[in-house]
Structure 1
Amino acid sequence: MITVVSTLLPIVIVCLLLIIIWQYRNARESSRQLGYIHEKLNSIMTQGTRERLLLFSSNQELQLLLTDLNNLLDTNHKGAIERVKLEKSMRNMLSNISHDLKTPLTVVLGYIETIMHDETMSASERERILHTIHQKADQVIILMNTFFDLAKLESGDRDIPLSRVELGEVCRRNILSFYDLLTAKGSEVEIDISDTALYIMGNDEALDRVLSNLLSNAISYGDAGGVLGLKLYSDEQNAYIEVWDRGKGISESHQDKVFERLYTLEDSRNREYQGSGLGLTITKRLTEQMNGTIKLTSQPYVQTVFTVSFRRLRF
């Protein structure tokens, strides 16, 4: 018995030593790999590079950790890009707002100084200037209200209750509100509204604003084509509203930007119709809050179409 124990003891000791050595090497390798991950991760985060963590290991848990970390790096990189775009958008927005506020306020201050210092001014001239001051003040109020409306929409503070709405009635009401203006400008109006009642879950006030913005936009930038159209139709699933014109249109390079905050086509803006650049952004946000979508297609002097679509109700 003693002989057997004496024979097995060295073998057990050797096995234990081998296990200890194996565990020690594994621990050192794990420590080395974790050290690499730590240093590489710090380097990537500090320098903002698009590198990823690459490590060959038979440790499945470590492989899962690397996969999760690389996914996290991808998410962080996308977030960084979005932050840069947002910061640029905010700078442009503040610049444009400052410009659009400065212009009417400068006119207002100039006219006020004229009234204050010109004692020989006639009553009719004073009245004309006061009328202009009133118009410019209205422009500032409209711009600020529009800006705050967008801020509420994007922050989720503005609740839009949805109910059953018939789109034909909404379309007729809105095109009639612009009809006199269009005919006075000599523009042709083409109306194609389905005789079939089309119902959606929407909001009357929000739909009025969506259509008003789209029609105003078409009048402002598409009147060179001499025609404006409004079409309401449907398929089995959705109801569609198209507002179109045959004006100068929007080039392909600009089409993905027209719904951005305060984006305006500077070469097409003029003093008579110069806008804030918020109308289409608000239109998109309102459409989305009613679970709809909006898209743009444009071929200059052929047809520029804004299409709004909503899910149909079958009752």
Structure 2
Amino acid sequence: MKLTAGERSSLIFEGISTVILLFLLNVSLIVMADFAIKSNPGLENGIFIIKQSMQIGPYHTQIWSYQRWMIGILILIDIWVLIWRLRRRYAQYQLQHIIRELHYIAQGHFDHRIPFRVRGGQQQVITSVNSLVDSAIQSMDDERKIEQSKDELITNVSHDLRTPLTSIIGYLGLIEDKQYHSQEDLLKYTHTAYEKATQMKSLVEDLFEYTKVRQTSAPINIMSVNLDQMLEQLAASFELEASKKGITMSADTKPTDLMIEADAEKLGRLFSNLIANGLKYGQNASYIKLTAQQKDQQVEVCVTNDGAKIPEDAQIHLFERFYRVEESRSKATGGTGLGLAIVQGIVDMHHGAVRVESNDKKTSFVVTLPLDYTPEKN
């Protein structure tokens, strides 16, 4: 820490004034001691005898002189007092500098940190203050992101609900006003309104599921799950829909009858979303393969298709809510943009990880889960 010119001058003045005061005090003490000794003949004679008895060498050099000893002791005390006063004054200046830095930060300069280092316990104060400011800034940033995230969620939900709702109101309005020319027009309008309502229902369900899996206090029902049977059942349940698109479904687990501790309902939703994602967006795919393999105390499940490659710049955003690789294509397929965000939430609940690997030959969503579920400690 650098002192200002005024502080250095004050520190020098403090030292000089202390030296002068100590000198005057020492002179006073020596004079008073000398007067006390001379006014007491017995004490003076005793000191003279001690001086005579403490002579050494052929020249009878005296090693005792109460004045010398007194002056020496007083000088040592003076040095200690001088150092103590200067250090105390310097510590006060350090504290003043720290307080000024705190006032500067409190005025709204939250990107500022106390830049200097000092010795002693005040350095702990500086370190704690800087850490506290960092923590406060991080909390403010997190709160700002949460607020922004809420605003984005409301905006996206409002937009995605308004579009089909507008269509539903429009077509039902035509029917209400009898603005149709035939029974076919009537059926067409009602069918379109039904599809849009179904789309809204899907969005609401996905939104509800997303909010559930994102809650840290959401209940999770852990049980032993036969992963082989689950993947076989999922492949069979999507087989009819896949066959309409010319896609074959298959499931393979190594070892067979692989058991895992997990929430069966949420795990089924996880893999269903990945399969549905492959069916919707795996353009020109001919197969979707579900494979599971045990690796040490973890299991790696891959949902793979040979459809179109996912652009590299889009891969890092896939698990963000409402993110769509192609907006127009997602609308055409009825995608809500929440499916993979729900996948991420369920994986996090099970303390696992999920990633995507995509190239010109195949696209794989790889889910890694622990075989044995360990609840987090609060």
TM-score class, shorter = 0.7 to 0.9
Does 1:47 pair with 2:97? Answer: no
State the Cα distance separating 1:202 from its structure 2 match.
0.7
Q: Shift of residue 238 of structure 1?
A: 1.4
Matching residue within 109, 132, 151 for 1:72: 132
User: CA, structure 1 residues 18+148, in 2 after alignment: closer, same or farther (shift >3 Å)?
Assistant: farther
Q: Give the CA deviation at 1:147.
A: 1.5
CA contact (8 A) 1:115 1:121 kept: no
Distance 1:42 1:279 in 2: 49
CA deviation map 1:272-293 (0-9, x unaligned):
3131111111111112212322
Q: Distance in 1 between matches of 2:175 and 2:103?
A: 65
Q: TM-score, normalised by structure 2?
A: 0.72
Distance 1:102 1:151 in 2: 20
2: distance between equivalents of 1:120 and 1:263?
38
Give 2:363's match in structure 1, choosing from 301, 304, 313. 304
Gaps of 5+ in 1: none
Residues 75 and 266 from structure 1, CA distance in 2 versus in 1: closer, same or farther, beyond 3 angstroms? farther
Given candidates 67, 70, 87, the residue that maps to 1:26 is 87
Quick one: structure 1 residues 35 and 265, their matched pair in 2 at CA, closer, same or farther if it must change by over 3 Å? farther
Identity %: 26
Residue 37, structure 1, aligned to residue 87, structure 2: no
Distance verdict in 2 for CA 1:44–1:296, change over 3 Å: farther
Range with bigger deviation, 169-178 or 258-267: 258-267
CA 1:119–1:254: 2 relative to 1, 3 Å:
closer
The amino acid across from 2:241 in the alignment is L
| Inter-partner Cα distance in structure 1 for 2:180 and 2:346 | 51
Q: State the AA in 1 paired with 2:339.
A: G
> Counterparts in 2 of 1:1-315, with a 5 A limit?
2-3=36-37, 22-44=83-105, 46-49=108-111, 51-59=112-120, 61-118=121-178, 121-266=181-326, 269-299=329-359, 301-312=360-371
Distance across 2 between alignment mates of 1:287 and 1:165: 15
Task: Note if contact 1:223-1:245 (Cα within 8 Å) is conserved in structure 2.
Answer: no
Cα offset for 1:118? Answer: 2.2
2: CA distance, partners of 1:241 / 1:110: 45
Greater mean alpha carbon deviation, residues 94-103 or residues 166-175? 94-103
SS at match of 2:333: coil
Q: Gapped runs of 5+ residues in structure 2?
A: 1-32, 38-42, 44-65, 373-378
Q: Take 1:9 and 1:150, find their aligned partners in 2: how far apart are those partners?
A: 85
State the alpha-carbon separation in 1 of the partners of residues 147 and 309 from structure 2.
29
**Counterparts of 1:15 and 1:267 in 2: how far apart (Å)?**
84
Structure 2 CA distance for aligned equivalents of residues 194 and 89 of structure 1: 40
How many residues align? The count is 310
Evaluate the alpha carbon distance shift between residue 226 and residue 304 of structure 1 in structure 2; reply closer, same or farther with a 3 A threshold: same
* Worse-matched range after superposition: 110-119 or 11-20: 11-20
1:205 maps to a residue whose letter is: E
Q: What is the deviation of 1:209?
A: 0.2
What letter matches 1:40 in structure 2? Answer: E
